[in-house]
Amino acid sequence: MLTGELRSRIDGVWNAFWAGGIANPLEVIEQITYLLFMRGLDDAHTLEERKANRLGKPMERRIFPTGKDKIGKNGGVAYEEMRWSKLKNKDPATMFEIVSEHVFPFLRNMAEAGTAHATHMKGARFTIPTPALLAKVVDLLAEIPMEDRDTKGDLYEYMLSKIATAGQNGQFRTPRHIIALMVEMMAPGPKDIIVDPACGTCGFLVAAGEYLRENHPKLFHEKASRDHFNEEMFHGFDFDGTMLRIGSMNMTLHGVEDPDIRYKDSLAQEHASDADRYSLVLANPPFAGSLDYETTAKDLRAIVKTKKTELLFMALFLKLLKPGGRAAVIVPDGVLFGSSTAHKAIRKMLVEDHKLDGIVKLPSGVFRPYAGVSTAIVLFTKTNSGGTDHVWFYDCQADGFSLDDKRNALLPTEKIGPRAKLGDDERERNNLPDITARWQQRSAAERKRPRTAPSFCVPKVEIAAAGYDLSINRYKEVIHEAAEHRSPKEIIMELKALEQDIAKELDELESML
* pLDDT of 167: 42
Residue 201's CB: how many other CB atoms inside 10 A?
Answer: 28
* pLDDT of 111: 58
H-type alpha helices, 234-327:
241-253, 298-301, 309-320
CA pair distance 265, 273, nearest whole angstrom: 14
**Hey, is 430 helix, strand or coil?**
strand
CA pair distance 72, 74, nearest whole angstrom: 7
* pLDDT of 171: 45
* pLDDT of 2: 63
* pLDDT of 438: 97
Residue 65: asked if its preceding bond is cis (omega within 30°), the reply is: no
* pLDDT of 37: 83
Residues 71-103 pLDDT 10s? 887 788 999 999 999 999 999 999 999 999 999
Residues 462-479 pLDDT 10s? 999 999 999 999 999 977
Residue 306's CB: how many other CB atoms inside 10 A?
Answer: 23
CA pair distance 6, 82, nearest whole angstrom: 26
Per-residue pLDDT for the chain (513 aa), expressed as one digit of tens each? 567 777 887 888 888 888 888 878 888 888 988 888 888 888 888 888 998 898 888 887 788 888 998 888 778 899 999 999 999 999 999 999 999 999 999 888 875 555 446 677 777 889 999 999 999 889 888 887 777 666 777 777 788 777 755 444 444 568 889 999 999 999 999 999 999 999 988 999 999 999 999 999 999 899 999 999 999 999 999 888 878 888 888 888 788 888 999 888 888 888 888 999 999 999 998 876 667 777 788 888 888 888 888 999 999 999 999 999 999 999 999 999 999 999 999 999 999 999 999 999 999 888 887 677 889 999 999 999 999 999 999 999 999 999 988 888 999 989 999 999 999 889 999 999 999 999 999 999 999 999 999 999 999 999 999 999 999 999 999 776 666 778 888 888 888 888 888 888 888 777 776
Angle, CA 191 vertex, CA 187 and CA 192 arms, to 5°: 55
Could you tell me if 277 and 320 are in contact, meaning their C-beta atoms sit under 8 angstroms apart?
A: yes
* pLDDT of 312: 92
* pLDDT of 1: 52
